[in-house]
């Protein structure tokens, strides 16, 4: 991992990205990579990842609603609990054996115990 010492800017320049990493006051430099947005949306190679992305989108949307309901308790938390909620909702989603991958439902009323804690 490279760090930028003298210059102080963030953003991208060519195929390099400059950004501040959480927990560090240094600017980190990385090379851009991975598939393009258009390739992920249209390529047959990404058919399965698109199904998983769709399901995770459902978990994130439901997680937003759960966090909204917990808003009065948010001041009691000393960490970001969004990841825990999304993980729990994903476990609930995996319990749906009637729908196909990419269309599985998140049925909180059938599995309330999985959200405990």
Q: Tokens in use for 14? A: 């060519």
The DSSP output letter for 40 is H
**Each residue of 57-96: pLDDT tens digit?**
999 999 999 888 888 777 777 777 888 889 999 999 999 9
pTM tops 0.85, yes or no: no
For 36, phi then psi, to 5°, come to -75, 160
**Each residue of 1-42: pLDDT tens digit?**
766 677 777 888 888 888 888 888 888 888 888 899 999 999
Sign of the alpha-carbon dihedral angle for 17, 21, 27, 28: negative
Q: Which of 62, 66, 49 is nearest to 105 (CA)?
A: 62
CA distances from 77 to 70, 84, 87 (A): 10, 12, 17
């Amino acid at each position: 991992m490279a760090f930028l010492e003298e210059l102080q800017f963030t953003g991208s320049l060519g195929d390099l990205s400059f950004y501040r990493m959480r927990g560090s006051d240094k600017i980190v430099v990385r090379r851009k990579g991975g598939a393009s947005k258009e390739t992920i949306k249209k390529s047959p190679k990404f058919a399965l990842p698109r199904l998983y992305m769709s399901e995770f989108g459902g978990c994130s949307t439901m997680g937003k609603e759960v966090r909204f309901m917990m808003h009065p308790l948010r001041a009691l938390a000393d960490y970001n609990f969004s990841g825990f909620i999304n993980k729990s909702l994903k476990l609930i989603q995996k319990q749906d054996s009637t729908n196909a991958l990419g269309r599985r439902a998140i049925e909180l009323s059938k599995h309330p115990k999985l959200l405990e804690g």
